[in-house]
Chains A and B, each alone.
Chain A
């Protein structure tokens, strides 16, 4: 079962910041939060990941709440090419191995 909950869809105006929320209330202390996106007919593309601290890279920022029960992916200046399904994933550890548990994601549509 997915360990994350995301809104099924969101719209964002081109040039504005897109803020994608994710709830992961059952996350354990050593489980990372990963974000991927999937553009139509392509494989998922890595965006960013974090454990406790906020993270930023050239693609996005990840804000994780202090209790780690939720996070927000921020695309600072959304473009039409950012239209995709965004997956918030908890990386689960167990039996000496790691596993990504994908949910159904948020379908982001960037509007011109």
Chain B
């Protein structure tokens, strides 16, 4: 069974540029999560989707971050414009939902903002 797929794996951009990350969850998983992981820290939830609906986006900095999950499958996380402090690993995870809440993580996208 394929795991959570993320792309790109690495991204280097200059500050003020836009950037987008893509995630394909495990087939059949209704719940999708985006996390931010700073160096030496545990992941922090940015947004959680149940199918197409964002049910928890309280930690998403909405002035520059946006996310979408069209058709309830793939998801895209965007930053515009990027700042130096956005350099981090962006992780996507998915779970079956409906009480089966074990999350399975992708490999992450490592972003470096110069």
Query: Which A residues are closer than 8 A to B by beta carbons?
Result: 2, 34, 36, 41-46, 49, 87, 91, 95-100, 102-105
A16 to B18, CA, bound (A): 48
Across the interface, which residues of A come within 8 angstroms of B108, CB to CB?
Answer: 42-43
Supposing A43-B106, A97-B48 touch, asked if A102 and B93 sit within 8 A by C-beta, the answer is: no
A16 to B35, CA, bound (A): 34
Q: Tell me, rounded to whole Å, the shortest Cβ–Cβ distance linking B73 to chain A.
A: 19
The reply to whether B104 and A97 contact each other, CB–CB distance below 8 Å, is no
Stretch from B39-47, B63-71, B74-82 contacting the other chain: B39-47
Across the interface, which residues of A come within 8 angstroms of B103, CB to CB?
Answer: 46, 100
In the complex, the chain B residue whose C-beta lies closest to that of A44 is: B105
The reply to whether A49 and B42 contact each other, CB–CB distance below 8 Å, is no
In the complex, the chain B residue whose C-beta lies closest to that of A8 is: B40
- A-B contacts, 14 of them at CB < 8 A, read A36-B105, A41-B107, A42-B108, A43-B107, A44-B43, A46-B102, A95-B56, A97-B55, A99-B48, A100-B43, A102-B41, A102-B43, A102-B44, A104-B40
* Candidates A43, A97, A105; contact of B91 at CB < 8 Å: A43
Q: Tell me, yes or no, whether B101 is within 8 Å of chain A by CB.
A: yes
* Candidates B40, B45, B102, B105; contact of A43 at CB < 8 Å: B105
In the complex, the chain A residue whose C-beta lies closest to that of B6 is: A43
| 5 smallest beta-carbon distances between A and B, as pairs | A102-B42, A43-B105, A44-B105, A98-B101, A43-B107
Across the interface, which residues of B come within 8 angstroms of A91, CB to CB?
Answer: 101
A11 to B110, CA, bound (A): 28
Across the interface, which residues of A come within 8 angstroms of B48, CB to CB?
Answer: 97, 99
The reply to whether B45 and A100 contact each other, CB–CB distance below 8 Å, is yes
The reply to whether A49 and B102 contact each other, CB–CB distance below 8 Å, is yes
A44 to B44, CA, bound (A): 12
In the complex, the chain B residue whose C-beta lies closest to that of A94 is: B56
Across the interface, which residues of A come within 8 angstroms of B93, CB to CB?
Answer: 43-44
Q: Tell me, rounded to whole Å, the shortest Cβ–Cβ distance linking B77 to chain A.
A: 15
A103 to B41, CA, bound (A): 7
